[in-house]
Amino acid sequence: MKKLNSIALAVVLTGLFTSCSKKDEEQEPTAYLVFKFKFDSTQQRLNNFGQPASIPVNHSAQSPRFNEMSAHYIELAPSATTALGQGVVVYKNAETTAGGNSAIDFEQSILAGEGEEFFRTPIKSISPGTFHYLRVSLAYQNYDINYRINFGGNDFDLTGTLASFIGFNTYIKNFVVKNKSVAVNANRKQGYWAFETSVFGIDTVTSGQAPEGATTVPNPISSTSPIPPGSCVVTGPFTTPILITGNETKDIVITVSLSTNKSFEWVENSNPGYFEPAAGDTVIDMGIRGLIPIVN
């Protein structure tokens, strides 16, 4: 009798564990909301209000070749009247007071290049809803630009790498522009930049600060949902509103297409059309010129 009871118990336990195993195997894989960057020099060039923008008189600009970008904040906004922060915030990078006022902690930033994933989160963690706009607070960008110097009466057209911090405030320990490291160990406001180049085999880095409020931050819904001055929360409408139910079984990939159309702008004090810092040209604007969220 005892033997029969033992057999019966073994059968029940085997069935139980087999059932659990099957349930585990049958569980749906986790679906993610994934974000990637795209840098598009042909995308429309916009101003702070999301309107087409031309280049001002006595200014020149060029479309830089992007290496990488970082974001500080991502928000899905249900409508054009949704106040900043009142949508669904899906990501926010760490901040620190190590430099005094609260600032983006650059050391913890995620840097990504063209087509590279810079953030993902399980869709089940996102509050369901229909969203018409995407907001992305951009923080750091690194790209190559063309410039000209005159040496010995001859013009030389060269390439340099520019790193610029376009977030509201960033605490920077150190960063690498291209090959050379720059130590800061302090906060830097929006518009801080460093430029590295090699001239006749000598690597040099110079740095500076664009004027306050000069960085373009396109927001086509600025009249109904403004952003704070000095922030870099770029806003763009979905072509078709995105619906999130929480029951998705496949990833949703959003390509954040950023307009780099003549996004590097300077005040012209030399030959028109050539960035000549040694001849007095001064950086005025490094803002992205538009955002289009593309759902794949």
Q: What is the DSSP string of 167-212?
A: SSEEEEEEEESSSSEEEEEEEEETTEEEEEEEETTEEEEEEEEPPT
Q: Which two structure tokens, joined as six digits, stand for 204?
A: 């040099």
Q: Which of 5-19, 104-118, 164-178, 277-291 shows the lowest mean pLDDT across its residues?
A: 5-19
Global pTM reads: 0.88
> What is the per-residue pLDDT for 152?
87
Q: Which two structure tokens, joined as six digits, stand for 188?
A: 């830097």
Q: What is the mean pLDDT of the chain?
A: 91
In the predicted structure, residue 164 carries a pLDDT above the cut 60 = yes
> What is the per-residue pLDDT for 27?
65
- Comparing CA positions, the residue from 122, 88, 136, 118 lying closest to residue 242 is 88
Q: Classify the phi-psi angles of 167: left when phi > 0, otherwise alpha if psi is within -120 to 50, otherwise beta.
A: beta
- Rounded to whole angstroms, how far apart are CA atoms 224 and 222? 6
pLDDT digits (tens, 9 = 90+) for 221-248: 999 999 999 899 999 999 999 999 999 9
> What is the per-residue pLDDT for 127?
96
3-state secondary structure at position 233: strand
pLDDT digits (tens, 9 = 90+) for 83-118: 999 999 999 999 999 999 999 999 999 999 999 999
